[in-house]
Amino acid sequence: MTEEANSGFLRRCGRPAVAVLRAGDLELHRRSRAVRRAGRRIELTPKEFALLECLMCNAGRHVSRAMLIENVWNLSSDTMTNVVDVYINNLRKKIDEGFDEKLIRTVRGVGYQLSGSEDDIT
């Protein structure tokens, strides 16, 4: 993702272009594209990284499937696909497995939420 495209994505996520996002013990380093939870490095695909970044930009808030489809896949509408569900499931396996505290949760009828508050984001 080019710097210009990246800054556009960050604006759509509603967060200033900070270098590191944090939610609890989860860190996402935007420039190096590194993700760590409790100090352990987590390998993500580019789409998984973009999805997590969008969730972290909105930590503590509900994020609809439509918003994720628009911001991560650059599609204007929900095309009745389960792609978001598949990627969320992949992220859960990488981010939450092995930890007592699960950070990614489903909000029934709404979408998803990453645990944390705006105070956790730096």
Q: DSSP state, 30?
A: T
pLDDT of 63 over the 70 cut: yes
Q: Top-level CATH class of 3-120?
A: mainly alpha
Two tokens at 32?
């190096």
Q: DSSP state, 116?
A: -
Q: Which of 103, 96, 102, 106 is nearest to 120 (CA)?
A: 103
For residue 109, which phi and psi values (nearest 5 degrees)?
80, -5
Q: What is the mean pLDDT of the chain?
A: 84
pLDDT in tens, 14-37: 556 789 999 999 999 999 999 999
Q: Which of 74, 71, 93 is nearest to 111 (CA)?
A: 71
Note whether 94 and 42 are within 8 A (CB).
yes
